[in-house]
Amino acid sequence: MKRLVDKEEVREALFAMKPIKALGLDGFPALFFQSQWQQVVGQKLFEYVQNVFNGTEIGSNMCSSLIVLIPKGEAPEYSSQCRPISLLPVIFKVLVKVVANRLKPFMNLLIEETQASFILETHIVDNIIVVQEVVHSFHEKQGRRGWMMVKIDLEKAYDRLRWEFIYDSLVEAQIPENIIDILIRSWNAHSSHILWNGTCFEKFFPSRGVRLGDPLAPYLFVLCIEKLAHGIKQAVEQEMWKPIRLGKHGPPLTYLFFMDDLILLAEASESQMEVIKGVLEDFCACLRGKVCIAKSTFFCSKNVPMELNIKVKDCSGFSYSDSMGKYIGVPLLHGRKTAHIYKSLIDKVRSRLCAWKASSLSSTGRLTLVQSVLTSIPLYTMQTISIPLEICKKIELLCRNFLWHGDGQSKKVHLLRWSTLCKPKAQGGNQPSFTERLSSCSGPLEESAASRSYTPILSSYIPKMALRREISIKGQLNTIKSMAVTTWNNWLTCPLQNGRPGRQEEILIGWAPPPVDWIALNSDGAYKSGKGVASVGGVLRHSNGSWIIGYGCKSGTSTAYRAELWGVFQGLKLAWDHGYRRIQVQVDNKIVVNALNTQATHPCSNTDVIRAIKALLSRQ
């Protein structure tokens, strides 16, 4: 994080922004800077970011923002029912995005694993699924000891953050001084204007809070919320806070955080609620935050008597609920799935239809809205749980009526059957291509793409083979499915497939079998440019080509060359661990082959891996 800024880093931060978004005070969208990067603004923007990292003042104009109020729901009556969003100049957003990009790879080292927001290789649905499992366990709980789940609402969480508290959190996380210094200078130059009904009011100078719309704000907020996690962890270590366990040997659960959506878990008792209140009070005292008592609720397992629920309610002031409602926008199930639970999805589609002036849209325009907007509304919920068929049919009915009539309610003659519209485009329908359909998968790619609608040969064949014990998978069914998806997609790109020329350039690589009684190690490495993340993998095979074992792992921050070397080392180590001594290494990188065949080892950053490989090759 202390390294010097380079031009490519600034360019990546700029081009990661959406071209057309709400404008800041400067009036320039990101599209202008992106289109004029080479000819006009590239060098100047790079020099500005470089100078700020070297200690130059940011400039008050760059830190000025417009605050607009976005309603949280329909027909807001108070300012508290709106979300303040800051519109910042593109130049300042590029600066803080460079800082955010440097901070992002280290977030998983700075916060606990039970906080899932803005962490690489985590997803928002992870916490939703865990909370759903906790709720299910609450309904199945038996015995004398009950559990409680407390849903905490922090009032104006972003706006109440003290800058001194943010500074202390950054220092505790050992963030480099040059990064902290940039933040301090931006706070000192920070000013805002309220934009209301097109009128820009007089500027003011905030003294606390982080700005929604600032690319760095979520990371700062997560680091500050981690202080609450530290307080909970300390209470658990002192045996004051009693966590819950969903299984006899399961891990202890005390909290689940996603930004300001806070779920606290403990045994159900008055004393435990007092401990929870004490931890929250200590945290809010440092933060200058405030828990919204009216919106905070708690829920207890079924073996907790109602008398204890009332005592806990009187002790905490939180309202008791037999249903936790929604968590991060997804309804939590407390029993059977019914259409009533998902009625909000229907209402959301209807409200979106009412907001559009369909009479001024052509049939093509309505079709585009159906494909890109209406059908995407339920996808977020579908990522965690299947929606009842009745709800899917109602959404489909609204889409059909809107496509042919415009309002989604009235009935009109449909010129084409819905099943015809859902056919592939080559057959006269409007079904997207294989890649487009994969991009709209609602769940993990391996599971969604492996369904019958994406790869017809896959969904029934492999599971049946597994049930008949024709193949041994031992929990690796999804891995085999993902391999089949890749094979199916490669088949579609082959030359002369369906009478069409190939869509990709073919480079044939031949693997020669090793001598009899020898095994072949086929190794490869993959490198993702920009992020510097690499992975390796390979297989061990007999001289007749039969499979022995495969391997694959991440090699962390690396280069393409080092990834290739690391893949060879992992393969050789695996072969030796399985008792193989006659090994022929086969790779598709000539530089790696030359480096391993050369007797002398030239000093370089990869000398350690090369020496380790040669030691394995020469081992008797």
Q: Which has the higher per-residue pLDDT, 373 or 211?
A: 211
Confirm whether 255 is domain-assigned: yes
Query: What is the Cα–Cα distance from 228 to 594, expressed in whole angstroms?
Result: 54
Same domain, 378 and 476: no
Confirm whether 541 is domain-assigned: yes
Confirm whether 531 is domain-assigned: yes
Angle at 382 between CA 330 and CA 436, to 5 degrees: 135
Do the strands 261-267 and 147-153 form a parallel or antiparallel pair, or are they unpaired? antiparallel
Domain CATH for 604: 3.30.420.10
Residue partners of 31: CB distance under 8 A and separation at least 6: 19, 20
Query: What is the Cα–Cα distance from 449 to 382, expressed in whole angstroms?
Result: 15
What range defines the domain where residue 352 resides? 343-423
Same domain, 133 and 244: yes
φ, ψ at 566 (rounded to 5°): -65, -35
Cβ–Cβ contacts within 10 Å for residue 243, how many? 16
Same domain, 262 and 365: no
Q: What is the pLDDT of residues 580-605, one digit of tens each?
A: 888 888 888 888 888 888 876 555 66
Confirm whether 296 is domain-assigned: yes
Return the pLDDT at 445: 43
Confirm whether 214 is domain-assigned: no
Same domain, 453 and 375: no
| Contact criterion met (CB below 8 Å) for 217 and 210 | yes
Indicate whether 240 pLDDT > 90.
Answer: yes
Cβ–Cβ contacts within 10 Å for residue 525, how many? 26
Which range (102-106, 181-185, 339-343) has the least confidence? 339-343
Beta pairing partners, 526: 535
Residue partners of 462: CB distance under 8 A and separation at least 6: 471, 477, 480, 481, 484
Q: Does the predicted TM-score (pTM) go above 0.75?
A: no
| Contact criterion met (CB below 8 Å) for 236 and 112 | no
Same domain, 276 and 352: no
Count of helix runs (H) and strand runs (E) in the chain: 24, 15
Give the CA distances from residue 570 to residues 264, 601, 612, 613, 616, in Å, rounded to whole numbers and listed in that order: 42, 20, 10, 9, 10
Mean pLDDT of 552-565: 82
Domain CATH for 272: 3.30.70
In this structure, what token pair is assigned to residue 140?
């199945």
Indicate whether 450 pLDDT > 50.
Answer: no
Beta pairing partners, 194: 67
Confirm whether 528 is domain-assigned: yes
Same domain, 353 and 322: no
Same domain, 276 and 409: no
Query: What is the Cα–Cα distance from 83 to 85, expressed in whole angstroms?
Result: 6
Indicate whether 435 pLDDT > 60.
Answer: no
DSSP state of 73: S
Do the strands 255-258 and 319-320 form a parallel or antiparallel pair, or are they unpaired? unpaired
Same domain, 473 and 574: no
Query: What is the Cα–Cα distance from 589 to 73, expressed in whole angstroms?
Result: 57
| Contact criterion met (CB below 8 Å) for 245 and 267 | no
Number of domains within the chain: 4
Q: Band of the pLDDT at 370, cuts 50, 70, 90? A: confident
φ, ψ at 425 (rounded to 5°): -60, -30
Mean pLDDT of 78-105: 88
Indicate whether 494 pLDDT > 90.
Answer: no
Return the pLDDT at 235: 92
HSE-CB for 555 with a 13 A CA cutoff: 26
Query: What is the Cα–Cα distance from 422 to 450, expressed in whole angstroms?
Result: 19
Angle at 570 between CA 564 and CA 575, to 5 degrees: 125
Same domain, 574 and 538: yes
Confirm whether 310 is domain-assigned: yes
Q: What is the dihedral of CA 359, 362, 364, 370, to 10 degrees?
A: -10
Same domain, 296 and 374: no
Looking up tokens 């040059």 gives: 178
* SS3 call for 549: strand
Indicate whether 498 pLDDT > 60.
Answer: no
Looking up tokens 């789940």 gives: 149
Confirm whether 211 is domain-assigned: no
Q: What is the pLDDT of residues 374-399, one digit of tens each?
A: 667 777 777 777 777 788 778 777 77
Same domain, 410 and 487: no
Annotate 281-300 with b (16+ C-beta within 10 A) or e (fewer).
Answer: eebbebbebebeeeebbbbb
Same domain, 408 and 465: no
Return the pLDDT at 120: 67
Mean pLDDT of 82-104: 90
In this structure, what token pair is assigned to residue 552?
């694959």
In this structure, what token pair is assigned to residue 177?
């001084």
Residue partners of 62: CB distance under 8 A and separation at least 6: 89, 91, 92, 95, 189
* Of the residues 423, 439, 464, the one at which a domain ends: 423
Residue partners of 404: CB distance under 8 A and separation at least 6: 363, 412, 413, 414, 415
